[in-house]
């Protein structure tokens, strides 16, 4: 056994787990951890200006890297400021270990960062995490860290909250066992289950594979696409799994979520006589969308912490599921003859994208037309980070998808202010990639405290702000439902000048003819660049025929 303080135990665990990046903001309840971090060189700490940025950036970091993210934050309000990003991680099924300070053991009422109950933050985080821990001894802390990493990456990935009471953080070093890395729990898919499902697929005239976020988090999207090709299965994805299939794949029918993404995904679900879902969580809206429209048979390979058979499916590790299905499929002849009509997704998207040309002289600038101008600058080496709002709808419609990390965002959790922190996380995860952000002025204002953190993260990094001086999606909904808008206007802001003032590049675009040059200069800049596009605040959504 070695004598260690709480901070030394935390850092020793991070080193053992292979953690090389943590996101955080120092506070009085976490001095011990930061002193231990100061004594080492293997772990990079990304200091943010607001706690929400730490967890949102960590979520994006995990999505791009495929690894377990780590955040370190102070107690009480500091930790609670980060809860939106923890909820984002829980929704997105990204593994995260969220470490915070906490009121001391036996804290009196309203002690610093405390409330009426010393467990209050642990209880709050329990609602948006897989596990919430408050160890009371240094040995318990050592074990809790091992449990936190194992839980975060087992089953359906997600966040774990671990808080360290202040008096435990400040306690003298004591003997604790060496840290033990605990492998993630893996549940294999039985061969007989895979054989039965493969037999049903081979008998179907219109088999359909549906992919949710678990497919991307498990890293099996390419393998499942090849399996679909062998089986002659059409494919759809949820809004949370965009990128699992490339846009131009001949068997891809698009996003089965809502009409903003076209009707081909809807039609595929209603026409299929055998649907196999991968990575869906039982009882979710994404799965109910499928079941409410399904005419044929359904089997769901769930992405859950509970394991084994359930009505209509089986819960197991998706890597094991994919391997079992591949082996079962090899025992059957390829079924490339299938009865699907021509998938019309590409035709539908091209129709919408072409229709945007009619806005080429419109000022303020149309959201969709502005985003179309980005398309030629994007490649397989680009990650686009999308914020929540009208700009996301157009971004998902217009921008090309090359793979699982082509587009990341808050998706159906709809965290406003995601793009800027997301760009920071993506940059830290993959410095060799080109990072592009798409946001609105309302979203950016929510994350503005960390513009300097984004600039410190460096380039190549381009943020396009579709600036309509309004919470546009909310205003549009108010008008359509109630006949008028209320409290949705925003003060006009010149974000390009703000970026330049802080040390970045900034380009203000007020007319369509200025946009091409602004994009060219932004992508050529040797530092983070912001393109501030004065945009139309009343947007029509994609109109699919």
**What average pLDDT does the chain have?**
91
Burial (0-12, 13-18, 19+ Cβ within 10 Å), 218: buried
pLDDT for 343 equals: 58
User: Per residue in 209-235, pLDDT tens?
Assistant: 999 999 999 999 999 999 999 999 999
pLDDT at 412 over 60: yes
Cα–Cα dist 193/131, whole Å: 30
Query: Which band of pLDDT confidence, cut at 50, 70 and 90, is reported for residue 187?
Result: confident
**Is a pLDDT exceeding 80 seen at residue 258?**
no
* Residue-range definition of the domain harbouring residue 401: 345-534
**Residue 141 sits in the same domain as residue 253:** no
> In this predicted structure, what is the pLDDT of residue 284?
85
Of 159-173, 192-206, 251-265, 457-471, minimum mean pLDDT range = 251-265
Tokens for 418, please give them. Answer: 């995601």
Q: What is the pLDDT of residues 88-144, one digit of tens each?
A: 999 999 999 999 999 999 888 888 888 888 999 999 999 999 999 999 999 999 999
Same domain, 424 and 381: yes
Residue 345 pLDDT grade (very low, low, confident, very high; cuts 50, 70, 90): low
Shared domain check, 523 and 374: yes
pLDDT at 19 over 70: yes
Residue 183 falls within a domain, yes or no? no
Distances (CA, A) of 146 to 12, 70, 214, 302, 541: 11, 13, 23, 25, 47
Instruction: Show which of 146, 175, 204 is a domain's final residue.
Output: 175
262 and 375, same domain (yes or no): no
pLDDT tens-digit map of 270-298: 889 999 999 998 888 888 888 888 888 99
Distance between alpha carbon 539 and the CA centroid of its chain, in Å? Answer: 25
Number of separate domains in the chain: 3
Residue 218 CA to residue 319 CA, distance in Å, equals 7
Within this chain, do residues 350 and 499 fall inside the same structural domain, yes or no? yes
Do 146 and 68 sit in the same domain of this protein? yes
Overall residue count recorded for the chain in this entry: 545
- Domain shared by 71 and 200, yes or no: no
> How far apart are alpha carbons 359 and 333 in whole angstroms?
51
Shared domain for 261 and 410, answered yes or no, is: no
Are 286 and 361 in a shared domain?
A: no
The dihedral built from the CA positions of residue 48, 49, 50 and 53, taken in this order, carries a sign that is negative
Low-confidence winner among 318-322, 345-349, 413-417, 430-434 (lowest mean pLDDT): 345-349
Residues 145, 141: Cα–Cα separation, whole Å: 6
Which pLDDT value is given to residue 259?
57
In-domain check, residue 181: no
pLDDT of 539? 55
If you search the block for the tokens 């039609």, which residue do you land on? Answer: 267
- Helix intervals (H) in 154-250: 166-169, 191-203, 213-217, 221-231
The pLDDT of 370-389, averaged and rounded, is 95
- Same structural domain for residues 280 and 152? no
Question: H or E element: which one contains 132?
Answer: strand 131-133
CB 545 within 8 A of CB 351: yes
Same domain flag for 394 and 296: no
CA 22 to chain centre: 17
The CATH number covering residue 204 comes to 3.40.50.1220
- Which residues, at least 6 apart from 431, have a Cβ–Cβ distance to it below 8 Å? 458
Question: For the domain that residue 456 is a member of, what is the CATH number?
Answer: 3.40.50.970
Helix axes 345-355, 264-271, angle to 10 degrees: 160
| Span 444-491, pLDDT tens digits | 999 999 999 999 998 889 999 999 999 988 998 899 899 999 999 999
Long-range pairs for 110-113 at CB < 8 Å and ≥24 separation? 112/28, 112/75, 112/76, 113/29, 113/74, 113/75, 113/76, 113/77, 113/78
Q: Which of 26-35, 299-308, 322-331, 338-347 has the highest mean pLDDT?
A: 26-35
Q: What kind and span of H or E run contains 300?
A: strand 297-302
Average pLDDT over residues 393-410: 91
Query: Are residues 288 and 248 part of one domain?
Result: yes
Average pLDDT score over residue span 334-346: 61
């Amino acid at each position: 056994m070695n004598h260690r303080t709480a901070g030394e135990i935390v850092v020793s665990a991070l080193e053992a787990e292979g953690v090389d990046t943590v996101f955080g903001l120092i506070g009085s309840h976490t001095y011990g951890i930061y002193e231990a971090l100061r004594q080492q060189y293997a772990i990079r700490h990304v200091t943010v200006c607001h706690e929400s940025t730490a967890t949102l950036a960590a979520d994006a970091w995990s999505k791009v890297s495929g690894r377990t993210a780590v955040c370190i934050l102070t107690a009480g309000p500091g930790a609670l400021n980060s809860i939106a990003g923890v909820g984002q991680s829980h929704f997105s099924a990204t593994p995260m270990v969220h470490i915070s300070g906490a009121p001391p053991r036996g804290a009196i009422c309203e002690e610093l960062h405390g409330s009426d109950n010393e467990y209050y933050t642990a209880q709050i985080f329990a609602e948006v995490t897989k596990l919430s821990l408050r160890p009371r001894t240094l040995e318990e802390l050592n074990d809790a860290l091992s449990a936190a990493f194992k839980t975060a990456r087992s089953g359906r990935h997600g966040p774990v909250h671990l808080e360290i009471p202040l008096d435990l953080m400040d306690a003298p070093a004591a003997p604790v066992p060496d840290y033990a890395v605990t492998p993630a729990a893996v549940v294999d898919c039985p061969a007989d289950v895979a054989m039965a499902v493969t037999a049903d697929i081979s008998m179907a005239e219109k088999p359909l594979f549906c992919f949710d976020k678990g497919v991307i988090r498990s890293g099996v999207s390419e393998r499942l696409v090849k399996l679909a090709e062998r089986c002659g299965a059409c494919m759809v994805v949820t809004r949370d799994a965009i990128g699992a299939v490339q846009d131009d794949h001949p068997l891809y029918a698009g996003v089965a979520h809502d009409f903003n993404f076209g009707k081909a995904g809807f039609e595929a679900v209603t026409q299929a006589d055998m649907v196999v879902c991968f990575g869906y969580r039982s009882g979710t809206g994404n799965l109910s969308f499928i079941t409410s429209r399904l005419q044929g048979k359904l089997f769901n390979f769930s992405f859950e912490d509970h394991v084994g058979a359930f009505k209509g499916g089986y819960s197991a590790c998706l890597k094991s599921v994919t391997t079992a299905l591949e082996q079962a499929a090899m025992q059957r002849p390829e079924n490339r003859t299938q009865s699907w009509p021509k998938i019309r997704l590409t035709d539908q998207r091209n129709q919408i994208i072409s229709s945007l040309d009619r806005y080429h002289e419109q000022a303020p600038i149309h959201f969709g037309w502005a985003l179309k101008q980005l398309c030629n600058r994007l490649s397989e080496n680009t990650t686009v980070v999308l914020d929540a709002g009208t700009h996301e709808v157009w971004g998902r419609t217009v921008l090309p998808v090359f793979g699982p990390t082509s587009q990341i965002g808050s998706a159906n959790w709809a965290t406003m202010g995601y793009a800027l922190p997301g760009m920071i996380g993506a940059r830290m995860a993959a410095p060799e990639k080109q990072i592009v952000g798409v946001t609105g002025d309302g979203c950016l204002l929510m994350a503005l405290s960390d513009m300097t953190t984004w600039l410190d993260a460096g380039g190549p990094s381009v943020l396009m702000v579709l600036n309509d001086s309004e919470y546009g999606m909310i205003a549009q909904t108010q008008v359509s439902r109630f006949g008028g808008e209320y409290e949705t206007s925003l003060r006009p802001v010149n974000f390009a000048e703000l970026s330049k003032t802080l040390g970045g590049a900034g380009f203000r675009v007020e007319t369509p003819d200025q946009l091409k040059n602004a994009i060219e200069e932004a992508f050529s800049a040797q530092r983070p660049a912001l393109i501030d596009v004065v945009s139309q605040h009343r947007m029509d959504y994609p109109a699919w025929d």
